[in-house]
Chain A
């Protein structure tokens, strides 16, 4: 364990470096836009560098153990400590958050949404980054809660200030939903704290002692956490904030939201709810699974009903997170592996889709599927990228999406002992049906937007090539997107790059469930 303890500064630096950037930017006048952007980007890159260093220092043979552990006093009165660590589950998400931030920064270089003011925008983004990274490494419930909440306000403003027409409603909705969830979650945390003898908020400690709680109590505490996390995921009945938030948010906001924020919920399930309350998990699993498959079908139906491209993508997130939750609900290492992979894959793919949607919006000033057509003809590269992402999103083997989707379905065939096989096999079939729906709405979207002849209203200025606004993918977009596209392919072809890291960590979690 000792060789894992050294270099314990890495995580703290990686998490709080963005705040240093924020401090610097506070003293840069608003007018110095380029300077602000530069500082923000440099900060993000520096953070990413730390992240890369973390990758290199990570001991992959012990991916199941917490690494870079750091623990110091924080709130001694309530026995909560500043306790951080990283294992195979956290690592991909932790790193992904850094990558996404950098890419979004690059994209923002010439895509600052109205009403401008890059300084504030980028500061919020950096704060967001700290919150996201922190959530994935916190090993203390209170610390986790603080980070978990830290992302709220920046996202609220990102949507509310830089969003679309209906942004104020969307942002408030987003905030109230999440806050409602986390309020109950906090109550659950405290109940957990006292039921385990009011000794500590440290997750490892709670994992050891949580199982001893009486089953009924567990079920109730789990309920509190469930609402907290399910809202964030979002799972079926709690999902309605997502489409609004996504649709109204600026491109960067949507990307971060889809790529990272949604993962906080699923991560919470895997890191906190399930390992700490194994009995309750077994009780809840069928219901979680049920909501998951409902989400899959429901999200797909939602997609088919949309006339707005971005909203469609948003609904597809509901469906995809359904697959993730289905994997988790099986409580098997197979399913959880799929879930983690699914989180990352969904982050890459849907993030990418939102990038594309944003660029389409920027060029055509509309996302109405009915008005768009012939992208392939007018902006071929963008069109091909859209097609690529659609294929990845519908779970085409060889691309990242498949590895979150198929193993999740697979795992539902035999869930952990103690769960009804029949029920979960039904779930499996429904989920498999969901893949067809996914193909349906994505191809349908693609056929209507990319195929056919371009809509004359956009070619009116003469030939489409010299149409002033509508140009093909530009440099910043290429820089921002290429890494994602590559990652989608690489993880699709060599999934073990990630499974190798996840598997041991998940194994340790599942071992606790005794299933």
Chain B
């Protein structure tokens, strides 16, 4: 019977658009190269791997540019299961650049740690590759595969410091919950497949419309939950603080920026392409999630004393702000604005948050402490770092003219464009939260500027070159995006794909 099914559809070799796949291919190759080179390198020259990884990512950026420049329109492969459009290109670019910055962050950290370096880079590249695939996936299967592809290496990265109990704990928690979440999501997917008889998102989107049976609703809910876990939306956020705290700081940066972004990519793709018809289901769901995420993230962050954990909660509430417009995506033709705001926010957030982690890395090299109080008097002995950190925190708090404000602004704009009562309600909640958020960002600023150095040790900090480079990239990005918000918004505007919500 299965054979008959197979016979029914004669097998034809799919046409592969190698130009379209070039970025992924480059990264994949780079991955293999790193893996091989690692075997033959002497311990002292392992640093080569870092630059190799870096060049791989930059190299993969070239085809992204060429693809962006030639206007061949949307490239679609495997009858629409894998698509290269502006949306995917821009996000691939984002992932590659973010990845590059993370490589910069990691370099010294990895070199100084006494763990295997090769594996780190391989896992990192693999995860990034998964993210790039995620941007193009338009089929439940490829979405699932991409998701696992980016997750599994991440689990291992989290536990990378083998002999450190915290790191293990972080890894295990992340793994178990992650797998559990994706299992739930898979169940939802199976239901979805059952009711629509297709795994192709566009088909699903076509067949899911007004009539919402219990099964469809459950399917949608479970899928959303799966991604909500990835973007650590309350109440699916529980893993985030523990993992972020336990994992190596560069990995934390990676998780809180890249992996979160990937989650949003998947979420947006599914919501916009697969279940626009189910908006009655997921809009209220996401509304609640967004409100919870913003608020809970904020109030919990107020109580943190560990800077990384604080940033974990802050990134949770930031995720809430990204979710906020999605809660009204299907209202009054706001779809386009919502998509724009999500992408814009992701770009800005990536730049700012990575910068923050860069500063934390630089400072902790001296203070060897993750406590917020360890930032005391930073401005007095490391004014440069102090000012940069202030810029990043201000940007996270969304204060013009620093990058963050345009993210928040576009989010509010999208929400108010929807203009429903729920939209205004969530907008006000968001406004209030953006104020509360300053409570903990300001707290760190206060440490930096207004408090004395904890142990009176005010020897200046020597920042290694890669970190300096990372810092300057992120700082410039943050400032530029803030002063000329047009840029970010423009990318956000470009990032569109065929969708029922007119994205």
Contact = CB atoms under 8 A, between A and B. Distances in A.
Interface residues of A, number: 36
A179 B412 contact: no
B205 interface: no
A478 interface: no
Nearest to A192: B416
Interface in A131-157: 142, 145-146, 149-150, 152-153, 156-157
A400 B414 CA distance: 47
Contact of B383 (A120, A160, A175, A193): A120
6 contacts: A77-B489, A160-B450, A179-B434, A190-B427, A191-B416, A194-B417
B416 A190 contact: yes
A145 B400 contact: yes
A153 B390 contact: yes
Interface in B396-433: 397, 399-401, 405-406, 409-410, 412-413, 416-417, 419, 424, 427-428, 431-432
A508 to B, nearest CB: 29
Contact of B428 (A30, A156, A187): A187
A75 B485 contact: yes
A190 B405 CA distance: 14
Contacts of A74: 484, 486
Contacts of A150: 400-401
A167 interface: yes
Contact of B450 (A30, A167, A198): A167
Interchain residue pairs A-B with the least CB separation, the first 3: A183-B431, A146-B400, A77-B489
Q: Is the interface of A mostly helix, strand, loop or mixed?
A: helix
A198 B413 CA distance: 10
B493 A77 contact: yes
A161 B412 contact: no
A184 interface: yes
A63 B462 CA distance: 56
A431 B202 CA distance: 69
A183 B432 contact: yes
A161 B405 CA distance: 24
Interface string A58-94: 0000000000000001111110000000000000000
A73 B435 contact: no
Given A120-B383, A186-B412, A160 B446 contact: yes
Interface of A: 30, 73-78, 120, 142, 145-146, 149-150, 152-153, 156-157, 160-161, 167-168, 171-172, 175-176, 179-180, 183-184, 186-187, 190-191, 193-194, 198
A186 B493 contact: no
B118 interface: no
B340 to A, nearest CB: 7
Contacts of A179: 397, 399, 434-435, 438
B450 A153 contact: no
Q: Is the interface of B mostly helix, strand, loop or mixed?
A: helix
Contacts of A194: 416-417, 419
A186 B412 CA distance: 9
- Counting chain A CB atoms within 10 Å of each CB, the highest count among B400, B412, B424 belongs to B400
A120 B448 CA distance: 14
A191 B419 CA distance: 8
Contacts of B450: 160-161, 167-168, 171
B320 interface: no
A120 B489 CA distance: 33
A73 B485 CA distance: 11
Nearest to A186: B412
Interface residues of B, number: 39
Nearest to B410: A78
Contacts of B439: 172, 176
A317 to B, nearest CB: 24
Contact of A180 (B401, B432, B449, B484): B432
- Counting chain B CB atoms within 10 Å of each CB, the highest count among A77, A175, A190 belongs to A77
Nearest to A30: B383
A444 B305 CA distance: 48
Contacts of A190: 412-413, 416, 427
Contacts of B435: 176, 179-180, 183
Interface in B458-503: 484-486, 489-490, 492-493
B427 A187 contact: yes
Nearest to A119: B383
Contacts of A78: 409-410, 413, 489
Nearest to A26: B387
Given A149-B399, A150-B400, A187 B416 contact: yes
A468 B233 CA distance: 64
B30 interface: no
B80 interface: no
B370 interface: no
B39 to A, nearest CB: 47
Given A75-B486, A77-B490, A175-B438, A149 B400 contact: yes
Nearest to B399: A149
Contacts of B434: 179, 183
A150 B446 CA distance: 18
A186 B438 CA distance: 16
Contacts of A120: 379, 383
B93 interface: no
B250 interface: no
Contact of B405 (A30, A77, A149, A193): A149
B399 A152 contact: yes
Given A78-B410, A120-B383, A150-B400, A198 B417 contact: yes
Contacts of A161: 379, 449-450
Interface string B71-104: 0000000000000000000000000000000000
Contacts of A146: 400-401, 405
Contacts of A30: 383
Given A146-B405, A161-B379, 15 more contacts: A74-B486, A77-B492, A146-B401, A153-B399, A156-B442, A160-B445, A161-B449, A168-B446, A172-B439, A176-B438, A176-B439, A183-B434, A186-B431, A190-B427, A194-B417
B185 to A, nearest CB: 34
A98 to B, nearest CB: 20
B246 interface: no
Nearest to B442: A172
A122 to B, nearest CB: 14
A171 to B, nearest CB: 8
Contact of B486 (A76, A172, A187, A193): A76
Nearest to A115: B380
B489 to A, nearest CB: 4
B405 to A, nearest CB: 7
Contacts of A160: 445-446, 449-450
A230 to B, nearest CB: 15
Contacts of B442: 156, 172, 175-176
Nearest to B409: A186
- Counting chain B CB atoms within 10 Å of each CB, the highest count among A30, A153, A172 belongs to A153
B297 interface: no
A114 to B, nearest CB: 12
Contacts of A191: 416, 424
B328 to A, nearest CB: 13
B394 interface: yes
A82 to B, nearest CB: 10
B401 to A, nearest CB: 5
A120 B387 CA distance: 10
Contacts of A176: 435, 438-439, 442
Nearest to A148: B400
B437 to A, nearest CB: 9
B264 to A, nearest CB: 20
A208 B419 CA distance: 22
A198 B337 CA distance: 12
A433 B432 CA distance: 38
A77 B400 CA distance: 18
Contacts of B397: 179
A422 B428 CA distance: 36
Contact of A187 (B340, B390, B412): B412
A198 B435 CA distance: 26
